[in-house]
A and B are shown apart, each in its own frame.
Chain A
Amino acid sequence: MSAGAPGGVTDAEPFEAFVRAHQDLVFATAMRLLGRQADAEDVSQDVFLKAFERFDAIGRSPSAAGWLRTVTRNACLNHLSRHRARWRLFSELPGTEELEDVDTYVPTLAGEAPSAFADVEDQQAQLDEALLRLPDAYRVPLVLYHFENASYQEIADMLGVSLGKVKTDIHRGRDALRKYLTDERPR
Chain B
Amino acid sequence: MNDPADLERRVDHALHGLETPRAPLTLLPRVMAAVHARTSLPWYRREWRLWPLGWQLASGVASAVLLVLALSRWPSLELTPGLLRNTGALDGATELTNRVDLALAAVQVLWRVVVEPVVPVLFALTMLTCAACMALGLTLNYIALGRTWQR
Complex Cα spacing A20 to B22, Å: 11
Tell me whether A166 is interfacial, beta carbon within 8 Å.
no
| Interface hits, A1-48 → B, CB 8 Å | 1-2, 4-6, 8-9, 11-12, 15-16, 19-20, 23-24, 26-28, 31-32, 37, 40-41, 44-45, 48
CB-nearest residue of chain A to B51: A4
- For residue B139, CB closer than 8 A to chain A, the reply is no
A12→B34 CA distance, assembly (Å): 11
Find out whether the CB atom of B19 lies under 8 angstroms from the CB atom of A128.
yes
Map CB proximity to A onto B40-55 as digits: 1 under 8 Å, 0 otherwise. Answer: 1011001001101100
CA distance A19 to B30 in the complex (A): 11
B14 cross-chain contacts in A, Cβ below 8 A? 127, 177, 180-182
Q: Of B4-12, B93-101, B119-127, B129-137, which binds chain A?
A: B4-12
State the CA gap A181–B86 with chains docked (Å).
89
A5 and B10 contact, CB distance less than 8 A: no
CA of A60 to CA of B23, assembled, Å: 22
- Inter-chain CA distance A24–B27, complex, in Å, is 10
Q: Tell me whether A144 is interfacial, beta carbon within 8 Å.
A: no
The answer to whether B23 touches A23 (Cβ under 8 A) is: yes
Q: Which residues on B sit within 8 Å (CB–CB) of A24? A: 20-23
Tell me whether A140 is interfacial, beta carbon within 8 Å.
no
Docked complex Cα distance between A178 and B7 (Å): 8
With A5-B52, A53-B50 in contact, do A27 and B15 touch (Cβ < 8 Å)? no
Are B17 and A124 closer than 8 Å at their CB atoms?
yes
A111 to B120 CA separation, bound complex (whole angstroms): 65
Cβ distance A172 to chain B, nearest Cβ, rounded Å: 11
Asked if residues A5 and B23 are in contact (CB atoms below 8 Å), the reply is: no
Judged by a CB distance under 8 angstroms, whether B112 is at the interface is no
Number of A interface residues at 8 Å Cβ cutoff, please give it.
Answer: 44
Q: Which of A6, A15, A175 contacts B7 (CB 8 A)?
A: A175
Contact, CB under 8 Å: A124 / B50: no
Whether B52 and A174, one on each chain, are in contact in the complex, defined by CB atoms closer than 8 angstroms, is no
Chain A: minimal CB distance from B122 (Å)? 38
Q: Does B71 contact A (CB under 8 A)?
A: no
- Cβ-based interface call for B36 (8 A): yes
Contacts known (A1-B52, A174-B8, A177-B14); A27 close to B27, Cβ less than 8 A: yes
Instruction: Tell me whether A16 and B28 are in contact (CB under 8 A).
Output: yes
By a beta-carbon cutoff of 8 Å, the part of chain A in contact with chain B is 1-2, 4-6, 8-9, 11-12, 15-16, 19-20, 23-24, 26-28, 31-32, 37, 40-41, 44-45, 48-49, 52-53, 124, 127-128, 131, 146-147, 171, 174-175, 177-178, 180-183
Can you list 13 A-B pairs, Cβ within 8 angstroms, ordered by A?
A4-B39, A8-B39, A9-B39, A12-B35, A19-B27, A20-B28, A23-B31, A41-B26, A41-B27, A48-B31, A178-B7, A181-B11, A181-B14
Residues of B within 8 A of A (CB): 4, 7-8, 10-12, 14-24, 26-28, 30-32, 34-36, 38-40, 42-43, 46, 49-50, 52-53
The 6 closest A-B pairs by CB, nearest first: A8-B39, A27-B23, A23-B23, A31-B21, A28-B21, A48-B31
